[in-house]
Amino acid sequence: MNWYKFSSPKTFYPVAGSLAPYFLGVAGALLILGLYIAFFLAPTDFQQGEAYRIIFVHVPAAWMSMFVYLIMAGWSVVGLSLNSKLSYMMAQALAPTGAIFTFLALVTGSLWGKPMWGAWWVWDARLTSELILLFLYVGYMALHSALDDVRRADRATAVFALVSAVNVPIIYFSVKWWNTLHQGASVSLTQAPAMAKIMLMGMLIMSISFWMYTIGVALLRLQCIIAEREREIIWMNEAQRSE
Amino acid sequence: MKIAGILQALLWRDIKLAMRRQSDVVATLFFFVVAVSLFPLGIGSAPSLMHAIGPGVIWVAALLSSMLSLNRLFSSDYADGTLEQLLLVPMPLTLILAIKIFAHWIVAGLPLVILAPILGLQFDMGAKDIGILVLSLILGTPLLSLIGAIGAALILGMRGGGVLLAILVLPLYIPVLIFGAGAVTASVNGISPEGALSLIAAMLTLGVVFAPFAAAVALRISLE
């Protein structure tokens, strides 16, 4: 099977359209299952009470926020080295989802922080680096939308994604050391006592659900991007007419 | 002409050009001083407060003023077509950019380093702490120019690029800020600043090796 066949927007456009509903369907089913576990099956935490239940959304969202940036950087490498249009589009399609997950992780984190730490925001290393990650997503999308020439926008954002992805671990560790330099770790997220199996299960299911959602939504967004960019081209008009 | 000769000529050209338009250089420096002076006016001037915020304020102002000067790095060369000629020079673009970034640092970064002790005095720093401040700026400001060059190359020729440049570059500046201000704060508090300084030096080494290359890639994309 020739995989390169699918690297052309023309062949991938219908594939993306037919795959997306499956991913979204699986995501929806797992979301319901995960939330059921989160709200009804998982026991109440003896230290944190009911408020801990937000981790079923918070932790998967935080995982995805970092992971999506890496995937974007990966597609950027593919794009810059093989010069394939679709890889750039892939990276572009993932960016808003990643930004949303970052935002979600920040919001759920502060909702959890208020009852637990008594503050909406703490300059903890993880919070701070997550915030910086949000800045990077915003920068990526701002750069893409500011450049009119799509080809230049694709490649410029790819360079930015790569440079900033290399920086993400440096930022993380610097913020971590800064934190220990300025104040003793007033709050630590790492004191996780052996988690109940059902909690871990719920979190994993939610993660897979978010994962599937990311793929499904990225594919749909990819279709929009392809349609927007290839609107002058004949195959696109024919595809639109036949739909 | 030998490579060294070409590079030397480039360096002198950039410095001379900057010196012929001194108002730009002076304005950025003045911004540095004004920005730093605003903080005591806004926060209050109790000595203990000055000790606590001084290093951070000076470093943040240095960050902002070196970001403001980034536009000068390529824009005028781009406007008069010099940049396209530089791309045609039979030499690695990475080397040419490394020289241009170095020239930019001499014009925009070095004056900050020279001015910093005076601002340090305003914040009631001791001689040793001022020494650490200068050292951290000597190591840190080239890094700001190096990282900034990538951003400046990416937004070249874009209308309203200034704000975008800030969004792109400032998050990447954060590690420099943390260790730069961290070194001085440690020194003020009587802790050894060696660790933070070593880390900036390590990042500078990485930056010198990789940033000109990344800026060259970005510049080729922008000038295509």
The tens digit of pLDDT for each residue in A186-202 reads 444 555 555 667 878 88
Instruction: Please report residues of B whose CB lies closer than 8 A to that of A182.
Output: 185
Instruction: Please report residues of A whose CB lies closer than 8 A to that of B186.
Output: 181
Closest CB to A174 among B158, B179, B221: B179
What does the pLDDT average to over B108-119?
91
Minimum distance, in Å, between the CA of residue A147 and any CA atom of chain B: 7
Q: So where are chain B's domains?
A: 3-223
ipTM of the complex in this document = 0.87
Distance in angstroms (rounded) separating the CA atoms of residues B204 and A128: 23
Instruction: Please report residues of B whose CB lies closer than 8 A to that of A146.
Output: 155, 158, 160-161, 164
| Average confidence score pLDDT of chain A | 83
Minimum distance, in Å, between the CA of residue A124 and any CA atom of chain B: 14
Interchain pair B214, A164: CB under 8 A: no
Spell out the long-range contacts of B158-166 with Cβ–Cβ below 8 A and sequence spacing 24 or more.
B158/A146, B158/A147, B160/A146, B161/A146, B161/B71, B162/B71, B164/A139, B164/A142, B164/A143, B164/A146, B165/B67, B165/B70, B165/B71, B166/B67
pLDDT in tens, B182-224: 888 888 888 888 888 999 999 999 999 999 999 999 999 988 8
> And the tokens for B121?
């005095």
Q: What is the 8-class DSSP label of residue A54?
A: G
Closest CB to A181 among B150, B155, B182: B182
Minimum distance, in Å, between the CA of residue A3 and any CA atom of chain B: 28
Distance in angstroms (rounded) separating the CA atoms of residues A21 and A6: 19
Interchain pair A171, B224: CB under 8 A: no
Instruction: Please report residues of B whose CB lies closer than 8 A to that of A178.
Output: 178, 182
Minimum distance, in Å, between the CA of residue A200 and any CA atom of chain B: 34
pLDDT in tens, A69-104: 999 999 999 999 988 888 999 999 999 999 999 999
Closest CB to A178 among B150, B182, B224: B182
Interchain pair A175, B178: CB under 8 A: yes
pLDDT in tens, B26-77: 888 999 999 998 988 888 878 888 888 888 899 999 999 988 888 888 888 8
The model carries a pTM of 0.87
pLDDT in tens, A193-228: 556 678 788 888 999 999 999 999 999 999 899 888
